[in-house]
Amino acid sequence: MGETVRWLTPEEQHAWRSFVRLHEKLGGRLSRLLQKESKVSAADFAVLVQLTDVPEGRQRYQDLARALEWEKSRMSHHIARMAGRGLVVREDCPDDGRGAFVVITEAGRAAIEAAAPLHVEAVRELFLDHVTPAELRVLADISERVVSKLDEGAS
């Protein structure tokens, strides 16, 4: 516990707080737009995107939770709510009596197909239209590098 804290410099603090504000404002705005226009929450959208990105639209609960960085209880409660609305179903895993899959339904596919164009337009309007291609490449490089380090730490 005797380690010295590496406090942020004013420049680091400014950059960090700006990034956090961007993340919060952008996430909040996207979430409200999705909910208002498509009746799909940001969390629903995240789950549906993950499921449309995998073969057969099915993924094990634990893998889906890991991909979204959600805790087990949040995943369980949210999937139960989505299943209640007919967006996904839960299927037992035949190879593992304790495991289960989350599977997108036709209603779930229809919901994401309706929400995706709204989401893309909002991403363009709220973010992409305000950065240059060079800035976008730098942001992608930074994001990939930090995510890679975070993934290493999770292993």
Percent of the chain with pLDDT over 70: 97
Question: Is residue 7, in this structure, part of any structural domain at all?
Answer: no
Percent of the chain with pLDDT over 90: 88
Distance CA 98, CA 87 (A): 23
What does the pLDDT average to over 27-33? Answer: 95
Counted domains in the chain = 1
Q: Is there a contact between 43 and 120 (Cβ–Cβ < 8 Å)?
A: no
Distance CA 25, CA 28 (A): 5
What does the pLDDT average to over 130-153? Answer: 95
pLDDT at residue 93, rounded to an integer: 81
Question: Is residue 128, in this structure, part of any structural domain at all?
Answer: yes
Q: Which helix (H) or strand (E) holds 113?
A: helix 106-126
Q: Flag whether pLDDT at 76 surpasses 70.
A: yes
Q: Which residue has the tokens 């495991």?
A: 99
pLDDT at residue 155, rounded to an integer: 64
Domain membership of residue 119 as a residue range: 27-154
150: three-class secondary structure by DSSP: helix
pLDDT at residue 55, rounded to an integer: 84
Distance CA 14, CA 18 (A): 6
Angle CA 128–25–150, to nearest 5: 80
Q: What is the pLDDT of residues 79-137, one digit of tens each?
A: 999 999 999 999 988 777 678 999 999 999 999 999 999 999 999 999 999 999 999 99
Q: What is the pLDDT of residues 43-52, one digit of tens each?
A: 999 999 999 9
Distance CA 38, CA 121 (A): 13
pLDDT at residue 94, rounded to an integer: 79
Q: Which amino acid is at 8?
A: L
CATH number of the domain that residue 106 is part of: 1.10.10.10
Question: Is residue 20, in this structure, part of any structural domain at all?
Answer: no
pLDDT at residue 95, rounded to an integer: 76
pLDDT at residue 2, rounded to an integer: 65
Q: Flag whether pLDDT at 1 surpasses 60.
A: no
Measured between alpha carbons, how far apart are the two ends of the chain, in Å?
25
What does the pLDDT average to over 129-148? Answer: 97
Question: Is residue 74, in this structure, part of any structural domain at all?
Answer: yes
